[in-house]
Amino acid sequence: MTDMTVLPGAGMDAFFKADGIAIIGASDDSSKIGGRPVYLLQKYGYKGAIYPINPRGGEIQGLTAYKSVLDLPKAPDLALIVVPAEAAVAALKECAEKGVKAAAVLSAGFTEAGPEGAALQDQMVEIARAGNIRMLGPNCLGSFSVAEAVIGSFSIVLEDNMPLAGNVSIISQSGNIGSYVVQNVSRRGLGVARFMATGNEADVDVADGIAAYADDAETGLILTIMETCRNGERLTYALEKARKAGKPVVVLKIGSTESGQKAAASHTGALAGSDAVIDAVLRRYGALRVHSVEEMLDVGHAASMLLPNRLPKGKRVTVVAASGGFGIMMADASTQAGLTLPDLSENTKRRIQEAVPIAGTNNPVDASAQMSSRPDILTKMLSALMEEENTDAVELFLSLSLYNKRLRGVYMEGLREVRKAYPDRLLVVTSAGPADAVAEINAMGIPVFPSIDAAAKGLAGLARLGELQTLAEPTRFDGKVEKLDASAFRNEYASKKALAASGVSILPEQIVTSADEAARYAAEFGFPVVLKIVSEDIQHKTEAGGVVLNLTNEADVRAAYERILVNARAYKADARIDGVLVTPMAKGGTELIMGISRDSVFGPVVMVGMGGIYAEVLKDTAIQQAPVTEEEALQMIRGLKMFPVMDGARGQARADVKAAAATLAALSRFACRHADDVAEIDMNPVLVRPEGEGVVALDALIIPVGQASVSH
């Protein structure tokens, strides 16, 4: 059920708001997996009916036990299946017959156990589909809903106490990592709304959780732990739903996606790694990707406090410390995280010095130890920064000051006054202070980060989440998918002709089959010219001695033609040779690589980077799911580390980046239009001429779906 026949989020209420829960495989021993849900449901006061199911019947943990789901007085919304794999299939059949809406298969022994287990899992999917049951798992930790005490899990997280009720909902493929996040969210004093671990994802997947939380009134923030994505359409549907609902999604993506191509067929495939693809997709759909549990907790904690309307509107941050050295460290970390440190207005600088006469008033602000001498001094200085229009957030570094009783008193009073006076402005504190002091500051609505690096990454993440409100609708291909004529795959000449018909500029060129013909076309095009071998069996043209550059007269062209053919035969005697390509020699400008890679989960992916012979050495690339608009293409190009070279660095002529963006957008549309046939497209190099002079693809290759790995 990983396709779109069931929309993400459909039928998920039964997991969180179940009216009646059956535990199939219930045990009287509350320490066993089958006994724990029965115990937890009673312990935390679940208000619905609890139905222990055990073939022995009788009584379990003080409740009437039934021998089968079919014996129940009414159909429960949710069934927890905790019997061995083979018995689980029969149990699910009975659930379908009874009319159960959802089932959490907590048992193991399915796909993860080998072919026999996989066959059992397939049977369960068929049963669930036929019975209109949403199935969680198998081999999962289950789910729970805090406020309603709907517990479909055996997690030890719930053993001692239920997490505080709050606005954070968690969806995780990994049960253990998800549990760890729940525990740490609780330790930080945050409240949890829902939790779900999806396990094998035979039916319910991460996309279901995100989409369900998007519709959930109790959820404000969605924390997602994802190991792999099997269906890109489902994930993007769910992310878009969450974005439109104003529910920020923070994603910890671990491992590499199954869509990673193990044998790339071109430069493009080698450079467009699957991890970069998931990164681009998450960015496009407004989700924030983090790279550790700690980063997820830091930014998640802060975001949950700032929702719904206190997230920063941009990436401008003013940093304040009592030490110039710490200020420099904060500035470095902020810049590396993608934040900017704006200049402060003269009025703000004046007001800072009125509060702290010896302060350094640039950004970072060196407030000296004087800022902590009295609460009113701290309040006056921070008030000036709160009213600075040219900043989106203020970060105050307190080092270990909160361990000092006197300093703690000063800071608490000053922060309380500032927060009261400026409730809508974003102030964050960086301090590894004692837990009770951190909790006291958090209670004011001021996020606390444990370190300078954590604060920088956290603020950058919050700024990214703040962009949700203004994020444009994701670009989609709304045209018709068409078959590409097979001739386009034959060689460079044919590939370029197909691309030229879709808006990619190329030079005049001609395939010739004699030295005289080569000389004639060279004269017609104008010297200097380039000659290249044209053969579907010779992809390494340069290595084969099949390229000669900068030919300046007809005699040299004739000689080069003959030499290329001799080299080609020596390189591969049985190569099919279509002829030799004659084209003008292009000079000047900046070389880019542009290409398409076909991701098995997200479809065509467009890539741009610094091209020529350095493409795979520099690996300076930008990637996005196709198609892209010209504006998106321009942002990709501007995001390259080497972009300053194109933008007139050291007095060089500015490159025609707008024409480059138009070419990249045209390439992305071509790939979507021919998505069923095209595996990869490699245009390298694409020569970007000076501003106003356009671009031209000097070499290109289109690789069909299913072709064995080659290298261009």
Strand partners, 94: none
Confidence of residue 258 (pLDDT cuts 50, 70, 90): very low
Cβ-based neighbours of 137, under 8 Å, separated by 6 or more: 104, 105, 106, 107, 198, 199, 200, 202, 204
Residues 201-237 have pLDDT tens digits of 999 999 999 999 999 999 999 999 998 888 999 999 9
Q: Which residue has the tokens 């998106």?
A: 632
| Residues 566, 454: Cα–Cα separation, whole Å | 62
Query: Does pLDDT of 615 surpass 70?
Result: no
Q: What is the mean pLDDT of residues 50-66?
A: 96
| Residues 147, 220: Cα–Cα separation, whole Å | 14
Structural domains in the chain plus CATH codes:
13-255 (3.40.50.720), 312-470 (3.40.50.261), 508-584 (3.30.1490.20), 590-704 (3.30.470.20)
User: 202, 138 in Cβ contact below 8 A?
Assistant: yes
pTM more than 0.85: yes
Q: What is the mean pLDDT of residues 180-193?
A: 90
The sign of the CA dihedral 169, 173, 177, 180 is positive
Specify the DSSP class assigned to residue 402. Answer: G
Confidence of residue 610 (pLDDT cuts 50, 70, 90): confident
| Residues 509, 339: Cα–Cα separation, whole Å | 47
pLDDT for the residue numbered 256: 55
pLDDT for the residue numbered 251: 96
Confidence of residue 266 (pLDDT cuts 50, 70, 90): very low
Residues 486-525 have pLDDT tens digits of 999 999 999 999 999 999 999 999 999 999 999 999 999 9
Specify the DSSP class assigned to residue 506. Answer: B
Residues 523-577 have pLDDT tens digits of 999 999 999 999 988 878 888 999 999 999 999 999 999 999 999 999 999 999 9
Residues 424-467 have pLDDT tens digits of 999 999 998 899 999 999 999 999 999 999 999 999 999 999 88
Query: Does pLDDT of 271 surpass 60?
Result: no
Query: Does pLDDT of 340 surpass 80?
Result: yes
pLDDT for the residue numbered 203: 96
Bridge pairing between strands 365-366 and 317-321: parallel
Confidence of residue 616 (pLDDT cuts 50, 70, 90): low
Query: Does pLDDT of 182 surpass 90?
Result: yes
Confidence of residue 613 (pLDDT cuts 50, 70, 90): low
User: 28, 18 in Cβ contact below 8 A?
Assistant: no
Query: Does pLDDT of 618 surpass 80?
Result: no
Specify the DSSP class assigned to residue 113. Answer: G
pLDDT for the residue numbered 275: 82
Residue 35: phi and psi, rounded to 5, are -95, -25
Confidence of residue 307 (pLDDT cuts 50, 70, 90): confident
Q: What is the mean pLDDT of residues 85-99?
A: 96
Instruction: Please compute, for residue 260, the number of CA atoms within 13 A of its CA located in the half-sphere on the CB side.
Output: 12
Confidence of residue 383 (pLDDT cuts 50, 70, 90): very high
Confidence of residue 261 (pLDDT cuts 50, 70, 90): very low
Q: What is the mean pLDDT of residues 575-582?
A: 95
Residues 155-166 have pLDDT tens digits of 999 999 999 999
pLDDT above 90 coverage of the chain, percent: 80
The sign of the CA dihedral 273, 274, 275, 280 is positive
Q: What is the mean pLDDT of residues 608-629?
A: 82
The sign of the CA dihedral 418, 419, 425, 429 is positive
Mean pLDDT of all residues in the chain? 92
Residues 311-339 have pLDDT tens digits of 999 999 999 999 899 999 999 999 999 99
The one-letter amino acid code at 9 reads: G
Residues 97-139 have pLDDT tens digits of 999 999 999 999 999 889 999 999 999 999 999 999 999 999 9
